[in-house]
Chains A and B, each alone.
Chain A
Amino acid sequence: MNDPRRLMELLAPVHDAARMTARRLCRSHADGDDLFHEAVLRALGHLHELRDASKFRSWFYAVLLNVHRARHRHDFWRRLVSFDETRAELVVDDESDALAGAHRMARALATLAPPEREAIVLFELEGFSLDEIAALQRSSLSAVKSRLVRARGRLRRHYERRERVTRPVVQEQS
């Protein structure tokens, strides 16, 4: 039975972590919260399919990743047909280095393909094992490993490109 109270009970232990994951997968907190809400709604609709409550965490994360991929697939149509959704940048409300770094990383992650972004976020920030990520992404272990290497390489190139652009400006000022 799809009972919201049961869903909230199951969600309680993983709520904060999953919400943060959703935010890290998106360019803004608003987008991340929207993704999370959609995943919760989807989870409620499919709660009867959850056979073993002890596996709720991985089941819910799989739902979250499915919603994340689906939203990305629809980006093209969203540009053409307005669903009154505007994408906001991660809000940086002060000039601290940490927030600037967070902003930089959110932008860098947005350049990755969704499976690569998910792999980086789940492995580097959420502490999932390679086996767990493989199960969540329905991929082989070797596919996840090469996805992580590829994503790392892309992040590195993104940072190096930005650094090359920054360097002449610094020289001009000195």
Chain B
Amino acid sequence: MSTRNTDSRIESDLKALAESSARGLPTLDQTARALTVARTQPAGGRIMSIVRKPLFATALGAAVVAAVLVCPVPYSRTVGYELTVTNAAGRVAKIRVPAKNAAQAERRAAELRKHGAVVAVAARTERVWGSVYAMAKDKLLDVHVDLDGKTDAQVADDIRAQLASGGWNADDVQVQRSAEGSTVQIDAQDDSGRQMKVVRKTSGGDEKSMDFQLGGIDDAREPGMTDAQLRDKILQQLKARGLDADVTVDGGKIQIRASKSVEE
């Protein structure tokens, strides 16, 4: 694209932005009503005005981080992977891979498959006590896919294989890439029937690889734990990962909605 073309594109997009921002513009009356509503909620406003002062925000952030990071909680973590290799003669061998990253284990499995072996990858876990931060870090399933030269279907297959290595059966993985960005949708469930639905959207089409982290939430109820306590346990893990989350726990039913906004 020549500089002149780029400049004219910028000009036309600026004009388009100017026009689009006039659409559905609230009126002065609506602004007045919003102001009235905001002034009738002094408590919330006061809290937000305190929170929005940098010093207080820093102190509050530090307090929450300290609470989240220090409190020890029980959880199970992945310590490596076990490859069950079956050769053409039917002989079975087990190989322990120390990697905590499912992608590394999957790469090792792929090498063995090239020699005609049937390889199953399973995560090895252990039960430990540690801080929420340690738990969130340990239990994440790191997905890494090199996009170079791969079709969307091949990327989806790669994600599916890495999920399988982490103990998730992906019912549906959809990948769509364009110059505007990429969308990945994953529906998966683990052996115990827990379901995970993930939608990842990025803007900009210059991705060379796709890295994201999935799962890793310990939702096991400790003996005597109430719904509210289990909800707090899950929320702490999500906050430790920088996610805005909404969690509901109702007996055996747990619903987690989490989102993360990252600027380009």
What residues of chain A have their CB less than 8 Å away from a CB belonging to chain B?
4, 7-8, 11-12, 15-16, 19-20, 23-24, 29, 32-33, 36-37, 40-41, 44, 70, 73-75, 77, 79-87, 89-90, 97-102, 104-111, 124-125, 152, 155-156, 159-166, 169
Contacts and interface: CB of A to CB of B under 8 A. Distances in A.
B52 interface: yes
B35 A41 contact: yes
Contacts of B6: 156, 159-160, 163
Contact of B28 (A15, A84, A152, A161): A15
Contacts of B35: 4, 7-8, 37, 40-41, 44
29 contacts: A4-B32, A7-B35, A16-B25, A19-B26, A23-B21, A24-B17, A40-B31, A40-B35, A41-B35, A41-B39, A44-B35, A77-B57, A77-B58, A79-B262, A81-B57, A82-B245, A84-B244, A87-B261, A97-B16, A102-B13, A102-B20, A105-B13, A107-B264, A110-B263, A125-B17, A156-B7, A160-B6, A165-B206, A166-B205
Interface in B237-264: 239, 242, 244-245, 259-264
B16 A101 contact: yes
B16 A8 contact: no
A41 B45 contact: yes
Q: Main SS of the interface on chain B? A: helix
B17 A102 contact: yes
Interface of B: 1, 3, 6-7, 9-10, 12-26, 28, 31-32, 34-36, 38-39, 45, 48, 51-52, 54, 57-58, 60-61, 64-65, 178-179, 203-206, 239, 242, 244-245, 259-264
B165 to A, nearest CB: 29
A101 B178 CA distance: 15
B24 A29 contact: yes
A80 B31 contact: no
Q: Is the interface of A mostly helix, strand, loop or mixed?
A: helix
Contact of A8 (B18, B24, B31): B31
B10 A165 contact: no
B33 to A, nearest CB: 11
Nearest to A101: B16
A156 B166 CA distance: 42
B60 to A, nearest CB: 6
B9 A159 contact: yes
A120 B28 CA distance: 26
A44 B26 CA distance: 19
Nearest to B261: A87
B25 to A, nearest CB: 6
Contacts of B242: 79-80
A74 B51 CA distance: 10
A166 B14 contact: no
Given A20-B21, A79-B242, 4 more contacts: A20-B25, A81-B60, A106-B17, A110-B263
Contacts of B34: 37, 40
A80 B68 CA distance: 11
